[in-house]
Chains A and B, each alone.
Chain A
């Protein structure tokens, strides 16, 4: 049996366009109120798939060669048939995990999910108690999330943590790592908070590009430390790109692994609770390829133009700094979701370590300034512009106060 996780997307998978990983929002209902939520989850969608439609969709995923299904929300366990969906995913030969805020993931729920064959649970922890509770919008949610993590681990399910990196959580990453290792986590997925949905209303949360100069060495350090302590750090697709720490932070299987560009629509598929098919779960409506209520999943996956942007994109489609970057041909401007949320179109992504280093070498930095608000709908975004400015001079060191003052006489 191979040690390679099923979610690993091989070159052959990409060439053949196998949707290896499907991230499926099974409901938009949620019991938290997160400041960064891209889908602005809370109430369920009026037209979410019925159980029969969802079960049929699972069979269609298996026919396309999907190997792993991640059930997300909203909050996945708020859908009444979530256990039945886990059973169906497993019965169709695919691995199944859920992502959760963990607020009401009781021991009974975990036991039922484990019995249904659930293999992995990712619990969101976005800071230490005060920061997490504030970001998640519910007092006590940090403690509930940690309890959920411990329960998952106790039931023998792979316990993972997802953490949003933003201005509130970044200073706490090292302490968060200690807490989640103690609670039994073995995987830690980190993602930059993207300016979509609720996060677009909170620009003060978002990292500025130059802050990657501090973040990336920290992540490399945490990745190495985590490995020694049994925690594998997994950078999401919006963390990168290249620079001196690329090998260290992406070193899960092989130190020669590096970012190869967005694989949305080639190896990854996103599904909304109403059956809308996208190439990546975070992308907004222009990227919707159609609904499984109107067309088969295979037809959408193979033929829908909005899902084809990754394989059709060329360097000529890039703009701004990314167009002339040394890595342009490989990178293709990093995460499409991140770029689109900032500028309303892909192809230029300032949230890049190599780019920040090159700017810094010239004494410059890029600052993102919001110029347009989001409309308030799920997966919406505002608009930002890039201001290139000189790196401010470091403040002078504080004046040294002498230990004792010598007084003549």
Chain B
């Protein structure tokens, strides 16, 4: 098949106001948030959350973590 299908451009989710912005933006056009900084904060929160969930699982299974 010669003609390829269209793949829509991926957008970036602002972790503050939860609106999508074009990938080239550094500040959210809706809330003015610093997109890189917000993403870094979000990633750190996710790591903490995953650790807490793992610890909880271990505790429920009666194993020390």
Contacts and interface: CB of A to CB of B under 8 A. Distances in A.
Most chain A beta-carbon contacts within 10 A, residue among B1, B5, B13: B5
Nearest to B19: A244
A265 B3 CA distance: 12
Contacts of A247: 13, 18, 20
Interface in B37-62: none
A311 B13 contact: no
Contacts of A313: 6
Contacts of A256: 13
A248 B9 contact: no
Label chain A's interface by main secondary structure: loop
A244 B19 CA distance: 5
A311 to B, nearest CB: 4
A326 B19 contact: no
Nearest to B18: A247
Nearest to A311: B6
Contact of A14 (B1, B6, B17): B6
B36 to A, nearest CB: 16
A267 B5 contact: yes
A310 interface: yes
A16 B6 CA distance: 9
B64 interface: no
A42 interface: no
A306 interface: no
Interface string A238-249: 000011101110
B4 A17 contact: yes
How big is the B interface, by class? 10 to 19
Interface in A286-342: 302, 308, 310-311, 313, 326-327, 329-330, 332
A242 B30 CA distance: 12
Given A242-B20, A246-B19, A326-B22, A14 B13 contact: no
A267 B7 CA distance: 10
Contact of B5 (A16, A243, A246): A16
Contact of B9 (A242, A302, A326, A329): A329
B46 to A, nearest CB: 11
A366 interface: no
A17 B2 CA distance: 10
A53 interface: no
Contacts of A56: none
A258 B11 contact: yes
Contacts of B9: 260, 329-330
A63 interface: no
B7 A258 contact: no
A76 B61 CA distance: 49
The 7 A-B residue pairs with the shortest CB-CB distance, nearest first, are: A260-B8, A266-B5, A17-B5, A311-B6, A14-B5, A261-B8, A14-B7
29 contacts: A11-B7, A15-B4, A15-B5, A16-B4, A17-B3, A17-B4, A244-B18, A247-B13, A248-B18, A255-B13, A258-B11, A260-B7, A260-B8, A260-B10, A261-B8, A263-B5, A263-B6, A265-B5, A266-B5, A302-B1, A311-B3, A311-B4, A313-B6, A327-B11, A327-B20, A329-B9, A330-B8, A330-B11, A330-B22
